[in-house]
Chain A
């Protein structure tokens, strides 16, 4: 009986959290079109988020491209289908691996950063100080960050995809003596707008989810240093979960359009 109560209680907490997150998202959409626009802070956040994640995304993308090609090569060789390598790599990276891996990296890098930064601002009463000075901390801190992650993630994904395909080319060049021109010709031959557009659209949603959850957790951080740690940690966990759900929905919706 006790365990049933516990499950019901956990479910209640989960629903409450979903409700609060939805209210937070609603407030974002309400505030985003209101003046004054904090354009300078938005650009600053774009710079920080983009610039600070660039190296990490590049290294990860490069390794993924490299490893993916090395692992797939023997199997394709068995079937005499190594010439399909550029097509296979490009489609899988552009459609799925690139966006989801980059988003997960950014959830760890950017989402936890936002959670910790806003959490410590809450704990040290900096957010309260903004509020009592009659300024709108939601507009300055939250709207700018969510917009920055929404617009910067597609850029990072595009960059990561390019590096991953370059990593794959390096392996093909070393192992199969394939020229740069031939490899990229095959990559672009395999790609269609139907691969690029849905993959790009979903990265905007990924970016929005990273910013939203990070901001939600940090802004509503409980008092104390433990609260800051918890905000950063739960921002990553919740975002990662949400990214897979969004990815599933995106693939499902894309599939419906393909069928049409």
Chain B
């Protein structure tokens, strides 16, 4: 487990979040706080609304009611430009990596960099930044390859590099180890820990993987029936006698 104690300064706060698709109530009043420098793991069954929750958090999905504050800003009150600016502070690692398949690895990394002139100014030569991001994930040699030439684990690392290149304060990981073999999954987890140490980022990690939760979490939330059913450290939850909580650790 990641034992470093984070500051208790909230960086994301979700209050009474509700989201439905027709009669399917996915989130029924979800509450959560992410503190600065913290790794918060959210576990839940498939279809429990974990991914919907982080998509609401970044403004990819509309929510029915509740409040989401990211770095003190209510995301519902932001216009398009302000939301885009805030998004440069929040990285998102997709479950399927979501690399742009018509672009090389270099172009994938350059794409957001060249379009955020407010944060980075006009960058004439992006090579040093691209190479630094790729070296961070140990894949500098892939700079001119196309995504189709990469393995699943490599794609996940490149996606992480693309997230890091915008120097975000918060990273949202949507099932970062799903679909990877145990060795590659462990490599990705170690990479996530090293990135947190190096850049002092805060992170929300959505996962089913108990090993992942054990290794990386400072705190955990179990999402059941659209609410935060249980909350605590890995030790506290894994030793809980509540059968619903125990079901996650069997």
Contacts and interface: CB of A to CB of B under 8 A. Distances in A.
Contacts of B112: 133-135
Nearest to A132: B92
A128 interface: yes
A86 B136 CA distance: 68
Interface string B106-148: 0000011001100000000000000000000000000000000
A124 B60 contact: no
Interface string A106-133: 0000000000000001001110111111
Contacts of A36: 115
A26 to B, nearest CB: 15
Nearest to A44: B102
Contacts of B115: 36, 134-136
Given A128-B60, A129-B92, A134 B116 contact: yes
A129 B87 contact: no
Contacts of B94: 125, 128-129
A126 B111 contact: no
A69 to B, nearest CB: 42
A133 B166 contact: yes
B111 A125 contact: no
A124 B100 CA distance: 9
Contacts of A132: 58, 60, 87, 90, 92
Interface string B79-90: 000011111101
Contacts of A126: 98-101
Nearest to B162: A133
B50 to A, nearest CB: 15
Given A125-B94, A128-B60, A128-B94, A133 B111 contact: yes
Contact of A124 (B87, B98, B111): B98
A121 B99 CA distance: 10
Interface size class of A (residues with CB under 8 A): 10 to 19
Given A36-B115, A134-B116, A135-B112, A129 B84 contact: no
Interface string B44-66: 00000000000100111000000
Contacts of A135: 84, 111-112, 115-116
A128 B94 CA distance: 9
B96 interface: yes
B232 to A, nearest CB: 29
A35 to B, nearest CB: 10
Contacts of B111: 130, 133, 135
A121 B83 CA distance: 22
Contacts of B85: 134
B87 A134 contact: yes
B84 A134 contact: yes
Contact of B98 (A128, A134, A136): A128
Contacts of A125: 94-96, 98
A247 B235 CA distance: 70
Question: Which of A36, A121, A132, A136: most chain B Cβ within 10 A?
Answer: A132
A132 B100 CA distance: 13
Given A36-B115, A133-B112, A124 B96 contact: yes
A128 B97 CA distance: 11
B63 to A, nearest CB: 16
Interface of A: 36, 121, 124-126, 128-136
Interface of B: 55, 58-60, 83-88, 90, 92, 94-96, 98-101, 111-112, 115-116, 159, 162, 166
17 contacts: A36-B115, A124-B96, A125-B96, A125-B98, A126-B99, A128-B98, A129-B98, A129-B99, A130-B111, A132-B90, A132-B92, A133-B88, A133-B166, A134-B83, A134-B112, A135-B111, A136-B115
Top 9 nearest A-B pairs (CB, nearest first) are A134-B87, A129-B98, A133-B112, A134-B84, A125-B98, A132-B92, A135-B115, A134-B88, A125-B94
Given A126-B99, A132-B87, A132-B90, 6 more contacts: A128-B94, A132-B92, A134-B83, A134-B88, A135-B111, A136-B84
